[in-house]
Amino acid sequence: MNKTIKIYIAVLVFIFILIVVLDKGNPKPIDWRPTYSVDDKIPFGLYVFDQEAKGLFKNQNIERISTQTPYEFLDSKLNSYQEYSEDSLEVDTYTIKGTFLNISEDNQIDDQSVKELFYFVSEGNNAFLSMQVFPKLLADSLKIELKTDFLPTKEVSFWMANKKVSSQKYHFNTGANSFFSKIDTLKTTVLGYQESSNNKKNINFIKIPFQKGYFYLHTQPVAFTNYNLLKANNFEYAENVMSYMPKKDVFFYTKTEDSANISGSPLRYILSQPALKWALYLALIGIFIFVLFNAKRKQRIVPIIKPLPNLTVDFTKTIGNLYYQEGDHTNIIDKKIIYFLEKIRNEYLIETHKLDDNFIKKLQHKTGKNITDIENLVSLINEHRKSYHGSLEEDLIRINQAIEKILN
């Protein structure tokens, strides 16, 4: 191992130790992702709700559904494997009775599961769904519509419609003001309201009958997250909402999008731990630097290829020398003026047929050059055009310098 490689390794070890020392005293950043997972202790997880579920549903059996879809779970609880049909006189009955419970930010239930859920409720069971976006099939069938308003602040007040349940208002950090903008007033019972800082009263909790059972729909799942349950007395609001659930078994659907897409990579644990992740990145960067410098040191010398000469420049110089040797300064001045005015027309889109005060103002606005320099150049051009005698070398130099001030 040569001296250079030892220096590289020493530098990498020093950088690694420095990162560890600096990172050791920093607090772990808060993860604000709304996962709604019962395994997450982050602000918008459901760990606290899951741990307190036995207190919310006293003397009720709680069965968690984490590996199956609602269709797979409910279909497995039928007496037979005969599919349900509204036109059939024979219907299957469930071996379970109770309430299907799901809390998530967005719709995590597929259409087939929604259809099975309707059948489950029609048999005298119930379904409690708290989410900001309900399945379209469910919303269309129950004749409901949701709306989300922009909030100048994230705080929203929730309260129960029935004062006998609770007359207190609870304040939550929601991030979105979702509520029911349309309901079937003939069938629907309003159970709760919410109010944001703009003092608008909206419905956020309803009860809808469906044949022998009921749907309980709630638009603010953040009320059941870790952050809000541990804030002040907001846990009382969750208790009030859950008090409407019948005293039967609870089937808690806890499968989330995140849990369904857990990576099977061998590096999953390493990448989930910040210290190990950065150690891996640092090792990969070190290997890349080593390969880069090592390859550069052993690379063969690349021969220098001279660029082709610019013959256009040489040709221009030759023509310019011919004009200069002839001493025809008037011709050279004319060509420079023509070139200058052509450039002004193409680049700044200014008419050049009349060089007056209007032309000077437009050129000054477009180029930002000193108006005195522009006036001087226009004056020289106009004098040259009016002159009936030949121009001298000094005239050529003055006009050339004036043009260069404007173009450069």
Examine residue 37 and state whether it is found in any structural domain, yes or no. no
Give the three-state DSSP class for 117.
helix
The mean-pLDDT minimum among 22-31, 145-154, 180-189 falls in 22-31
In this structure, the answer to whether residues 161 and 193 fall within a common structural domain is yes
55: tokens are: 């207190």
pLDDT(264) > 80: no
Examine residue 125 and state whether it is found in any structural domain, yes or no. yes
pLDDT(263) > 80: no
Examine residue 60 and state whether it is found in any structural domain, yes or no. yes
Domain that holds residue 386: 311-407
Residues 338 and 355: their CA atoms lie apart, in Å, by 13
pLDDT(319) > 90: no
Confidence of residue 260 (pLDDT cuts 50, 70, 90): very low
Reported as a single tens digit per residue, the pLDDT across 91-102 is: 568 999 999 999
Confidence of residue 82 (pLDDT cuts 50, 70, 90): very low
Query: What local confidence, expressed as pLDDT, does residue 90 receive?
Result: 46
CB atoms inside a 10 Å sphere around CB 124? 15
In this structure, the answer to whether residues 62 and 175 fall within a common structural domain is yes
Burial class (CB in 10 A: 0-12, 13-18, 19+), 260: exposed
Contact 53, 252 (CB under 8 A): yes
Examine residue 137 and state whether it is found in any structural domain, yes or no. yes
More confident residue, 13 or 223: 223
CB atoms inside a 10 Å sphere around CB 304? 5
Mean pLDDT of 98-109: 90
Confidence of residue 173 (pLDDT cuts 50, 70, 90): confident
Instruction: Give me the phi and psi of 230, to 5 degrees please.
Output: -95, 5
In this structure, the answer to whether residues 162 and 191 fall within a common structural domain is yes
Give me the residues paired with residue 131 across strands: none
pLDDT(192) > 60: yes
**Cα dihedral sign, 71-75-77-78:** positive
In this structure, the answer to whether residues 93 and 220 fall within a common structural domain is yes
Residues 285 and 379: their CA atoms lie apart, in Å, by 64
In this structure, the answer to whether residues 7 and 147 fall within a common structural domain is no
Examine residue 65 and state whether it is found in any structural domain, yes or no. yes
Contact 56, 242 (CB under 8 A): yes
Query: What local confidence, expressed as pLDDT, does residue 408 receive?
Result: 78
In this structure, the answer to whether residues 51 and 166 fall within a common structural domain is yes
Could you write out the DSSP letters of every residue in 183-215?
--TTT-EEEEEEE-TT--EEEEEEEEEETTEEE
More confident residue, 393 or 348: 348
More confident residue, 375 or 296: 375
Mean pLDDT of 3-21: 76
pLDDT(103) > 60: yes
In this structure, the answer to whether residues 101 and 139 fall within a common structural domain is yes
Contact 110, 71 (CB under 8 A): yes
Examine residue 42 and state whether it is found in any structural domain, yes or no. no
Residue from 215, 211, 212, 237 nearest 225 by CA: 237
Query: What local confidence, expressed as pLDDT, does residue 131 receive?
Result: 92
Query: What local confidence, expressed as pLDDT, does residue 317 receive?
Result: 74
Domain count, the chain: 3
373: tokens are: 């320099």
Across all residues in the chain, what is the average pLDDT? 83
In this structure, the answer to whether residues 68 and 154 fall within a common structural domain is yes
pLDDT(299) > 70: no
Q: What is the DSSP letter of 92?
A: -
Residues 103 and 252: their CA atoms lie apart, in Å, by 9
Residues 138 and 110: their CA atoms lie apart, in Å, by 10
Most confident listed range (11-15, 44-48, 154-158): 44-48
Mean pLDDT of 121-137: 94
9 residue type, one letter = I
Give the length of the chain: 408
**Global confidence as pTM:** 0.59
In this structure, the answer to whether residues 131 and 222 fall within a common structural domain is yes
pLDDT(85) > 80: no
Which CATH number do you get for residue 180?
3.40.50
Contact 285, 3 (CB under 8 A): no
Share of the chain above pLDDT 90, in %: 37
Examine residue 33 and state whether it is found in any structural domain, yes or no. no
Residues 285 and 290: their CA atoms lie apart, in Å, by 9
Contact 274, 281 (CB under 8 A): no
Distance, C-alpha 380 to centroid of its chain? 60
How far from 271 is each of 121, 265, 285, 295, 405, CA to CA, in Å? 43, 10, 16, 30, 60
In this structure, the answer to whether residues 231 and 113 fall within a common structural domain is yes
What H or E segment, with its residue span, contains residue 375? helix 371-386
**Cα dihedral sign, 177-53-65-165:** negative
Instruction: Give me the phi and psi of 204, to 5 degrees please.
Output: -130, 0
Residues 52 and 367: their CA atoms lie apart, in Å, by 72
In this structure, the answer to whether residues 21 and 122 fall within a common structural domain is no
Residues 355 and 379: their CA atoms lie apart, in Å, by 9
Query: What local confidence, expressed as pLDDT, does residue 266 receive?
Result: 66
N-to-C CA span, the chain = 57
Query: What local confidence, expressed as pLDDT, does residue 211 receive?
Result: 94
Query: What local confidence, expressed as pLDDT, does residue 57 receive?
Result: 92
In this structure, the answer to whether residues 358 and 216 fall within a common structural domain is no
Examine residue 304 and state whether it is found in any structural domain, yes or no. no
pLDDT(401) > 90: no
Mean pLDDT of 315-339: 76
